[in-house]
Structure 1
Amino acid sequence: MEVSIELSQNEKHECFESFDDDGRLKRKGTMWTASAHIITAVIGSGVLSLAWAIAQLGWVAGPVVMILFSFVIYYTSSLLSDCYRSGDPISGKRNYTYTDAVTAYLGGLKVNICGFIQYANLFGVAISYTIASSISMTAIRRSNCFHQKGQNSPCHISSNPYMIIFGVIEIIFSQIPDFDQIWWLSIVAAVMSFTYSCIGLALGIVQVVANGGIKGSLTGISIGAVTETQKIWRSLQAFGDIAFAYSYSMILIEIQDTIKSPPPSEAKVMKKATLLSVEVTTVFYLLCGCLGYAAFGDSAPGNLLTGFGFYNPFWLLDIANAAIVIHLVGAYQVYCQPLFAFIEKWATRKWPHSEFISREIKIGRSYKLNLFRLVWRTAFVVVTTVISMLLPFFNDIVGLLGAVGFWPLTVYFPVEMYIVQKKVAKWSTRWVCLQMLSFACLVVSLAAAVGSIAGVVSDLKVFRPFKSSY
C-alpha cells in the first residue's frame, strides 16, 4: 500500500514538472531559439529589396534611415516584450498573443483594430512570400535555361507553376499544429537566410571589383533618369521596403510565448534575443544594401540576386535562390502560425461541441490530424497562392505591407501598452517623448504607404492577370 502511494506521489510530481504555471506543457524555448525565430522572420525576402531602397535614397539617407529603423524596432520591441505578462514580470498572467496583450492593457475598440491590422498584415506577408519564392524558383529555371540554350535564348518562364509548387509545400507544412513545434524549421530557415545573404554579399564585392569602383551617388537616383514625381514616390516606397525588412513585432508575443518559464523572466530573455537579432540583421542589411548599391548604382534591381544576371556563376546563383525558397518556406510558417491559431481558437469557442472542429485522428505515434485544421489551413494557402498569381508585384507589395503594419503594430500599440503598464503620467517628459516617437513613425508610415500605392497603380496599368513571366 505504501509503495502504491509513493508511486502516485512520484507520478503527480512528474506531472507537475511537465507543465507550466498556466497548465500548459512546459515551454522549452531559449534565447537562441527565440533569436532563430526572429531572424527567420526578419531576414526574409525584404533583404533583397534593400539595394533598390538605398538606390532611391542615396549613400547618405539610405544607411541613416536603415540604422534609425533598427533603433526604433529594438526600442519598441523591448517595450512590447514587457507586456507578455500582466502585472508581475515573473508570476503575472501570460498574454499568449499580441491581441491578448492589447486586450489586457488597452481593451475596447483598440483590440478589434489591432487584431484586424495584425492578421491582415500576416495574410499579406503570406502573399509576399509566395511571390518572392516564385521569383527565386523562376530565376533558377532561367539560369539553367540560359546555360543549356545559350545567352541569346529568350527563356521566358511563367511564375504561376512555381507559386503552385510553393503553395503545395506550404499546405504540407501548415499541418504542423502550433508555433512551438516549428523551432527546427526556423533554425533551418535562419541558416538559409545567412546563406543567400552571404552569396549576395560575395557577388556584390566581385561586381564592385569588376566595375573598378563604387557606383551610386549621395542623393540616389537622379532627376532625369526618373521624373521628379517618380523620385518622390520611389523614395517614399523605399521607406516602406526598409520598414518591411525589419518588421516582426506582430509575432513578437507569440515568439516570446515559446520561451521557458522564469527565472530569468521571459521579458529579459526576449530582450536579449531581440538585441542579438536586430544587431545581426542590421549588419547584414547594411552590407547587402550598400554593397548592392555599390555594385549596381542607380540601376540596382528590386531583387538583388536577379541583378547579377542568370549566366555565370549560374550554380552559385542557383544555390542562393534555392536557399531563399527554403528560407521562405519556414518564414511563411513563422508568420502564419499565429493567424492559424487565432482562427482555430475562435472556431473552438464558437462551436465547442462540433466534432469536425475538435476531433483529432491519431496518425503514427505522435501526430494527430485535425480535420478542421486540415481544411482551413489548406484553404488559406490556396487563397494566398491565387492572389499571388493575380498580383505579382514583389517590390510594391513589400513596400505597402511595411508601410501599413509598421506604425500601428511596431510603434503605436507597444508605446500605448507601455504607458498603461508603467503608469506613465500624461504630459510628463517620458510621455511626451513616447508620443513624439509615435507621431514621427506615423508620418513615415503614411508617406511610405502613399509611395507604395503609387507603385501598385503604375504596375496595374500594364498588368495582365495570370500572365506573369520573367
Structure 2
Amino acid sequence: MDRHSGFSPPQIIGNVSEFDDDGKLKRTGTVWTATAHIITAVIGAGVLTLAWGIAQLGWLIGIATVVIFACITLYTSNLLADCYRFPDSVTGKRNYTYMEAVKTILGGKMYVICGLVQHSCLAGFAIGYTITTSTSMVAIRKTDCYHKNRGDEGSCMFSNNPYMIGLGILEIFLSQIPSFHKLSWLSTVAAITSFGYSFIGIGLSLSTIIRGNGQKTSITGVSVGPDLSVADKTWNMMVALGNIALASTFAQILFDIQDTLRSSPPENKVMKKANTMGITVMTILFLLCGCSGYAAYGDKTPGNILTKGVREPFWLVDLGNLFIVVHLVGAYQVIIQPFYLAVETWAGMRWLDSKFVTKEHPVRFGKMKFSVNLFRLIWRTIFVILATILAMAMPFFNLMLGLLGAIGFWPLVVYFPLKMYITQNKIRKLTMPWFGLQMLNLSCLSVSLAAAVASIHGFGNALGKYKPFMYKE
C-alpha cells in the first residue's frame, strides 16, 4: 500500500535504483525542498500579528519570547528528526508519520491520544486558514474602497462569505494532489510569497518610523489606563504569549516533510539542516515584523498590519494581501496532508479489496498526466465543503483554532518529542538530563494552559456577538 495516498500503487518494473530501502519509489526531496515546506508551514499570515504580540508583552519579554520559543522549536524538532527511524536513527525502520513514530516508540495508548490531538488541530487549521484567507481578500476590497472614497469607512463593509466559497472551490481541486511528494512546487511558491508580504509589512512599518510618525513604545508594552484594565492587559499578554509559541511550530507535519527526503545522506542529518535553516529564517522575520510594527504603531498596534493597519500606498497593501492569499492557499494543502493521509490509510486497510477505495484511474489532459481515485475525490471534496461551511458559520472560529492550537502545542511540540527521546535513548529517571527535560516540559505546559484559558475567555466573549453567516468586515 502506498504510504502517502493509502492506496496500492501500480507495479513498476525497472532498475533497482528506482526504489528505496523499503521497496517504495525512491524519494527525491532535498534540504531545500524541506526548508521550503517548513517556511510554508511556520511563516503564515500570523507573522503580521506578531507586532501586536510584542506590543502586549513589551520589548524585553516580547523579543525574549520569540527567541526562546524558536530555540525550543529547533531543539524538539531535531529530537523528532532522530525518531524518524527506530531503533537506530540512521539505519532503523522508517516511521512515515508522527503518529506511527509515537506508536512504535511509546505504544498504542499514546498513539490514540496523539492521533486525537494532532488531527483535531489539523482539521481546525483548515477552517482557520479559510477565515484568514477571506479576511485578506476582503482587505483588498476595503483598501481600494477607502482609497476611492477618500477614507469613508461607512460604505466599505463587505461579507467574507463569497471569498470563502471561492477559496473552497479552489481547495477542492488542489486537494486532489495525492501527497507531500507532489507539493514541492506549491510549497516553493507559498514560501516566496510569505517573504513578499512579510517584507511589505516590514517596509510599511519602517517607512512610518523613518517619516517620524513612529508611536511611543515601552519596555513593558501597552500601558494600563482608561481604555485598558489590568485584567484585560493580563488576558492580552496570555494570548500574545500563546500566539508566539504556536506560530513557531510545525511538529504535526515534520515526519511528512522528512519522508520526502532522499535516503542518502541520512534523512535525520538533512532534516536537522532544514530545521536550522527554516527556523533561523522564521526567527529573523518574526523579529523584524514584530519589532518594526510595534515601533511604528506603539500602543495602537493593530492585530494585523496589512488587514487592519496602514491603508497607503493602497497598491502595496493590496499586493501584500494578495501574497497572503497565495501563501495560505498553498499552506492549506501542506498542513492538511497528514490528515488526508490518516483517513486514506485507514480506508485502504479497512477496504483493501474495494476498487472504489484503492483503484487509481489514469487521466490525460493534453500533455498532462495524472490519476484520479474516487474515494480520494469524494471524501476530500466533502471535507473542504464542511470546512468552508464551518468557517462561514463561525467567523470567530480562529478563537477556537487558538484553543485547539494551545491544546496541541504542549503534547505535539514538547511532550511527545521529549518522551520519545527519553525512551529511545534510555535516559534514566532522576538523572540530571531527565530533570532538565522535565523542567522544559513543565514550562511549556504552563504556556499551553495559559493560552488555552485566554482562548476560552475570548471565545466566550465572541459568542455574545454570534450571528451565523452574517459576519462583515
Q: TM-score w.r.t. structure 2 length?
A: 0.94
**Residue aligning to 2:384:** 381
Cα deviation, 1:385-432, whole Å, max 9, x if unaligned, reads 111112223763453243122110000000000011111111111111
Write the distance in 2 (CA, Å) between the matches of 1:460 and 1:330: 31
2:210 is paired with a residue whose SS is helix
**Residue aligning to 1:95:** 95
Structure 1 segment 418-457 matched on structure 2, within 5 A: 418-457=421-460
2:303 is paired with a residue whose SS is coil
Stretches of 4+ moved more than 4 A in 1?
A: none
Q: Which runs of 5+ in 1 are unaligned?
A: 1-11
Q: Confirm or deny that 1:142 pairs with 2:142.
A: yes
State the shift of 1:212 in Å. 3.8
Paired residues of 2:51 and 2:291 also in contact (CA < 8 A): yes
Write the distance in 2 (CA, Å) between the matches of 1:319 and 1:181: 27
Write the distance in 1 (CA, Å) between the matches of 2:75 and 2:255: 15
**Residue aligning to 1:6:** none
Write the distance in 1 (CA, Å) between the matches of 2:170 and 2:13: 41
1:443 is paired with a residue whose SS is helix
Write the distance in 2 (CA, Å) between the matches of 1:17 and 1:92: 20
Paired residues of 2:128 and 2:398 also in contact (CA < 8 A): no
**Residue aligning to 1:272:** 273
Structure 2 counterpart of 1:414, one-letter code: P
Write the distance in 2 (CA, Å) between the matches of 1:175 and 1:215: 50
Paired residues of 2:391 and 2:397 also in contact (CA < 8 A): no
Structure 1 segment 159-178 matched on structure 2, within 5 A: 159-178=160-179
Write the distance in 2 (CA, Å) between the matches of 1:405 and 1:356: 34
Paired residues of 2:127 and 2:397 also in contact (CA < 8 A): no
Structure 2 counterpart of 1:399, one-letter code: G
State the shift of 1:308 in Å. 3.2
Structure 1 counterpart of 2:405, one-letter code: G
State the shift of 1:14 in Å. 4.4
Write the distance in 2 (CA, Å) between the matches of 1:453 and 1:383: 23
Structure 1 segment 180-329 matched on structure 2, within 5 A: 180-224=181-225, 225-262=227-264, 264-310=265-311, 312-329=312-329
Write the distance in 1 (CA, Å) between the matches of 2:335 and 2:52: 25
State the shift of 1:13 in Å. 9.5
Write the distance in 1 (CA, Å) between the matches of 2:212 and 2:396: 30
**Residue aligning to 1:4:** none
State the shift of 1:63 in Å. 0.7
Structure 1 counterpart of 2:268, one-letter code: A
Cα deviation, 1:332-383, whole Å, max 9, x if unaligned, reads 0011111101100101111112222112221116311011101111111111
Write the distance in 2 (CA, Å) between the matches of 1:294 and 1:149: 29
Write the distance in 1 (CA, Å) between the matches of 2:203 and 2:349: 52
**Residue aligning to 1:66:** 66
1:366 is paired with a residue whose SS is strand
Paired residues of 2:84 and 2:94 also in contact (CA < 8 A): yes
2:371 is paired with a residue whose SS is strand
State the shift of 1:89 in Å. 2.6
State the shift of 1:92 in Å. 1.0
1:368 is paired with a residue whose SS is strand
Paired residues of 1:76 and 1:411 also in contact (CA < 8 A): yes
Write the distance in 1 (CA, Å) between the matches of 2:217 and 2:440: 31
Structure 1 segment 351-362 matched on structure 2, within 5 A: 351-362=351-362
Paired residues of 1:50 and 1:289 also in contact (CA < 8 A): yes
State which drifts further: 30-39 or 209-218: 209-218
The count of aligned residue pairs is: 457
Q: Percent identity?
A: 51
Paired residues of 1:240 and 1:452 also in contact (CA < 8 A): no
Paired residues of 1:137 and 1:325 also in contact (CA < 8 A): yes
State the shift of 1:211 in Å. 4.2
State the shift of 1:214 in Å. 4.8
Structure 1 counterpart of 2:205, one-letter code: G
Paired residues of 1:244 and 1:401 also in contact (CA < 8 A): no
Cα deviation, 1:53-80, whole Å, max 9, x if unaligned, reads 1111111111111111001000000111
Cα deviation, 1:301-357, whole Å, max 9, x if unaligned, reads 1112124343x2111111100000000011000111111011001011111122221
Structure 2 counterpart of 1:405, one-letter code: G
Write the distance in 1 (CA, Å) between the matches of 2:256 and 2:445: 24
State which drifts further: 51-60 or 358-367: 358-367
Structure 1 counterpart of 2:76, one-letter code: T
Paired residues of 2:215 and 2:299 also in contact (CA < 8 A): no
Paired residues of 1:211 and 1:295 also in contact (CA < 8 A): no
State the shift of 1:174 in Å. 0.4
Structure 1 counterpart of 2:229, one-letter code: T
**Residue aligning to 1:8:** none
**Residue aligning to 1:122:** 122
2:361 is paired with a residue whose SS is strand
State the shift of 1:131 in Å. 0.9
RMSD: 1.5
Cα deviation, 1:437-462, whole Å, max 9, x if unaligned, reads 11110011001110111111112212
User: Which residue among 404, 407, 425 is the counterpart of 1:404?
Assistant: 407
